[in-house]
A and B are shown apart, each in its own frame.
Chain A
Amino acid sequence: MDNFKIKYKEESSELIAEIEKSLLLMENNPFDFTLTEQVFRAMHTLKGNSAMFGFKMIADFTHHLESIYELIRAAKIKTPAAIINITLSAMDHLSLLVNNEGILDEKSKEIHEKLSGEIIEIITHFDQTADGNKSDPVYEPAAIDAENKSLAYHVFFKPHKDILLKGINPLCLIDALRELGPCKVVANTDNIPSLEECDPASCYTSWDIYLPGGVDVTAVREVFSFAEDKCTLEINQVAGNDSVPATPAQPAISATLPLQDHNEEPGLQNKKYVISSIRVPSERLDSLMSLVSELMTLQAKLGMFTEQNPQLELLAVTENLEKISTRLRDNAFSMCLVPVENIVTPFHRLVRDLAAELNKQITFSAEGTETELDKNIMEGLSDPLMHLLRNSIDHGIEDPGTREGLGKPAHGKILFKAFCAGTNVYIEIQDDGKGIDPSKIRNKAIQKGIIGKDDVLTDKELLNLIFLPGFSTAEQVSEISGRGVGMDVVKRKITDIRGQIKINSIINEGTTITIKLPITISIIDGLLVKINNDDFVIPISAVDKCYETSPSQLLNKLNNLVVFEGEQIPFISLRDEFGSSANFGGNQEIVIVNYDEKKVGLLVDRVVGKFQAVLKPLGKHFQHMDNISGATILGDGKIALVLDTNKVVEQFLYAKNLSICS
């Protein structure tokens, strides 16, 4: 039972999110009736689910809400903003109800009463203004059902074979029926013979036609009046429309039904004919991923073993296994990918509410929401993004008056953009607000003792100071942002999922924050290197180039600079850095990595080659070791540590207390 409850909660949250999304869209496209339809349908399903699980309170509440949309739908009017607002609040309340399984504390009870009252008020009020066709203000479910469903007809129409020769086109009859009301027509093609036996002048098809309530039977008979003796015709009254979807005989046709009946009963739309996706608990995916990771490790082991014992059969097996396991890995990965849209949907709501609260006019748009990301990354992304958006709304976008004074449109814009490039996903949040003034940051930083009075910093470096702990430029701490959770937390959370964050800002033009993320976190492409006989992996994404160097090239070690292709590149000897005093002697290799758009060389003993590293955490006991982002197991069972090159360089700089200037 608990399992079902969890499913119910999951599904309900999804439905609520769907309703919210449609409502927000509705706000901008008030005449798009398909949206009303969607809202109604989702509510209907929610109501049904809740009733099924015995959450009467939720079912009743939803029922009233649904009634409003039922009315709007029937009246074909645009949804008034007031109703949208109440529905949105009701959605908040519903998600609370769903999560607490319908149990409420005192305060929420009050809200419940108040909302229910408002909703019923709307329904009653609606009745008075509506054209009077709907007379029953109390919407008992049975009443609606009876009204809507009792008068449906099922027409079975089987023309005689020679009907075409009599000059009657059955399709015209069906078209005439359609004029009576929106009906569903299902063609029965069972009797059509194979092509050789088929007589093109004969009619083999029969039709099942479902007519909605309110159609006059005599009108139906009239349609067939000329054809009555040339066909078999049965007209039956159908008890309720719910029996309709069960009747169609042919699966091939019934599968296409939802498309034809776009504007019909909600009950029909929710029937699934083909299972195109299944729900899997995320733990199962996680364990699948870890198994695949094990397989990759084992694969590497086998590869090494085969290299040592190069037998022809073994080589073939290994090669095939490698192909298959790589495909398996890619498949398993793609299963864990979810579109960015999942986290963006709630942002629409956030922006809308916050903007209203702060009396700002903001248009929020999202691009590239179909971009996919590993679900584990996505989980870690929601909070930081939310925070960044809040910042943009609160500190970025000015109020309409100020904006007009600056010659900007009163409506501020926030653009959420996601796109893929290489093995990374980029997420950008752009606003066209007031931007960040580097000189303000400078003053603040001096005031807080973060930088000295005479320190020379570029604007970019100044901007990056906002990612330091305890740095908040907001003069006043407001409700929305500046609650002590600063940009440092945002940065840390992004770093936790192995992402990078960058900020770009032009005064009075706006701020752009770019987040660069790996597509997955569990397997990375890396460069396997040896340092003092230990194995390390440098993520390929950070690597620019590799060079071989002779000891003489490194002679000028004091200022740690080396010249390649006419460019001076500072380098760090990882041997020294990792506490091995002995000099290597022979030729070493330098891996050039990107550090904050600058190039830094990492001096290693030897570059072994490319390696696909299955990243495993070092464990909680090493959580303070941020120069190592994890470990991976090599083919021979040895462990290689995966370096976080940014952190290695940072630590080096911190120790040397010097700034890299290229």
Chain B
Amino acid sequence: MLIKEHTASFLTFKLDNEVFAINVNKVLEILEMKPITKAPKAPAFMKGVINLRGNILPVVDTRNKFGMEEIPFTIDTCIVVLNIDTGNESLLIGAIVDSVQEVIEIPEEKIQPAPGIGIAFKEEFIKGMGKVDESFVMILNIDKVFSVENAFN
């Protein structure tokens, strides 16, 4: 059996025109868009909650988080259920993305650190830039992006 060392699988998804990648280890499942129960007076980023097989799953608006404008949901819009590590426990959260692309493998040597400048997003949110063919995808540090502390600012 051939074990590919130093290669990780990533799920890529689109927000606006950007392609982002999340380590598949963090992804539990991908759900179709479903009615979201809004929590009154919650920040715009916290979209609300959905019923995930009898459990309450908080859902965040990833566009809003990255400062992109809100667009109406399309048939491609979906909720990626992620496992967030807060340091002492793991939480589930649903992230709304424009569309899910594919699962790709990126060898470690093809991942470069994020350029500190010239990037529109907070540096701590980006784990690195993965080179896929000739283009780059942004690998997200989702523990940071969707951390509880970051939920309210």
Find residues 334-377 in chain A having any chain B CB closer than 8 Å to their own CB: none
Assembled-state Cα–Cα distance A495/B56 (Å): 22
**Chain A contacts for B41, CB-based, 8 A:** 578-579, 625, 627, 651
CB-contact partner of A579 in B37, B40, B151, under 8 A: B40
Given the interface pairs A618-B56, A620-B86, A621-B60, the reply to whether A639 lies near B49 with Cβ below 8 Å is yes
Chain A residues with Cβ below 8 Å from B92 are 619
Q: Within A305-339, which residues are at the interface with B (CB < 8 Å)?
A: none
Known A-B contacts A624-B152, A639-B49; the reply to A618 vs B38 at CB < 8 A is no
Q: A621-B151, A623-B148, A638-B35 are in contact. Are A631 and B40 (CB under 8 A)?
A: no
Q: How far is the CA of A290 from the CA of B107 in the complex (A)?
A: 42
Q: Is B100 engaged at the interface, CB distance under 8 Å to the other chain? A: no
Given contacts A578-B41, A616-B56, contact A621 B51 (CB under 8 A): no
Task: Find B91's partner among A534, A621, A625 (CB 8 Å cutoff).
Answer: A621
The 10 closest A-B pairs by CB, nearest first: A578-B40, A639-B37, A619-B58, A621-B58, A621-B151, A620-B148, A616-B56, A631-B56, A639-B51, A633-B51
C-alpha spacing A628/B58, complex, angstroms:
13
If A617-B56, A619-B93, A621-B93 are given as contacts, then 5 extra A-B residue pairs at C-beta distance below 8 Å, sorted by A number, are A534-B37, A624-B152, A631-B37, A639-B37, A641-B39
Q: Which of A534, A578, A616, A620: most chain B Cβ within 10 A?
A: A620
Q: Tell me if A620 and B91 are in contact (CB < 8 A).
A: yes
Within 8 A of B (CB), among A418-457: none
Residue of B nearest to A633 (CB): B51
Residues of B within 8 A of A624 (CB): 151-152
Interface string of B85-100 (1 = CB under 8 A from A): 0100001110000000
Q: What's the A-B contact tally at a CB cutoff of 8 Å?
A: 72
Least distance between A283 CB and chain B CB atoms (Å): 15
A622 touches B51 (CB 8 A): no
Mark contacts of B20-59 with chain A using CB atoms, 8 A cut-off: 1 yes-contact digit, 0 otherwise.
Answer: 0000000000000001011111100010011100111110
Min distance, Cβ B83 to any Cβ of chain A, angstroms: 13
Q: List 27 A-B contacts (CB under 8 A).
A: A534-B38, A578-B41, A579-B41, A616-B55, A617-B56, A618-B56, A618-B58, A619-B56, A619-B93, A620-B86, A620-B91, A620-B148, A621-B91, A622-B49, A623-B148, A625-B39, A625-B41, A627-B40, A631-B49, A633-B56, A638-B37, A639-B37, A639-B50, A639-B56, A641-B37, A641-B39, A651-B41
B126 to chain A minimum Cβ distance, whole angstroms, is 21
Q: How far is the CB of A645 from chain B (nearest CB, A)?
A: 13
Residues of the A chain whose Cβ atoms lie less than 8 Å from the Cβ of B91: 619-621
Q: How far is the CA of A377 from the CA of B107 in the complex (A)?
A: 50
Is there a chain B Cβ closer than 8 Å to A481's Cβ? no
Task: Give a binary string over A608-638; 1 marks a CB under 8 Å from any B CB, 0 the rest.
Answer: 0000000011111111110110010100011
- A628 and B39 contact, CB distance less than 8 A: yes
| A621:B50 contact, CB within 8 angstroms | no
- What bracket does the count of chain B residues touching chain A fall in? 20 to 34
Question: Which residues of chain A are near B57, meaning CB under 8 Å?
Answer: 619
A297 within 8 A of B: yes
Tell me whether A577 is interfacial, beta carbon within 8 Å. Answer: yes
Residues of A within 8 A of B55 (CB): 616
Smallest CB–CB gap between A272 and chain B, Å?
39
Q: Assess the B39–A618 pair: CB atoms within 8 A.
A: yes
Q: A621 and B35: CB pair below 8 A?
A: no
Q: For the complex, is A544 an interface residue (Cβ under 8 Å from B)?
A: no
Which residues of chain A are within 8 angstroms of B38 by Cβ–Cβ distance? 534
List of B residues within 8 angstroms of A622 by Cβ: 39, 42, 46, 49, 58, 151
Q: In the complex the two chains form, what is the Cα distance from A619 to B147 in whole Å?
A: 12
* Contact (Cβ within 8 A) B40 A628: yes
Bound state CA distance, A12 and B80, in angstroms? 48
**Of all chain B residues, which has the CB nearest A614?**
B54
Cα of A628 to Cα of B50 in the assembled complex, Å: 15
- Interface positions, chain B 100-153, Cβ under 8 Å from A, are 146, 148, 151-152
Would you call B37 and A621 a contact (CB within 8 A)? no
Contact of B49 among A579, A618, A651 (CB under 8 A): A618
Closest to A636 in B: B51
In the complex, the chain A residue whose C-beta lies closest to that of B59 is A621
Specify which chain B residues have a CB less than 8 angstroms from the CB of A534 in the assembled complex. Answer: 37-38
Point out the residues of chain B lying under 8 angstroms from A641, CB to CB: 37, 39-40, 49
A294 near B151: Cβ-Cβ < 8 Å: no
- Known contacts being A638-B51, A641-B37, is A625 close to B56, with CB within 8 Å? no
Chain A residues near B54 (CB-CB < 8 A): 294, 297, 633
Do B40 and A621 touch (CB < 8 A)? no
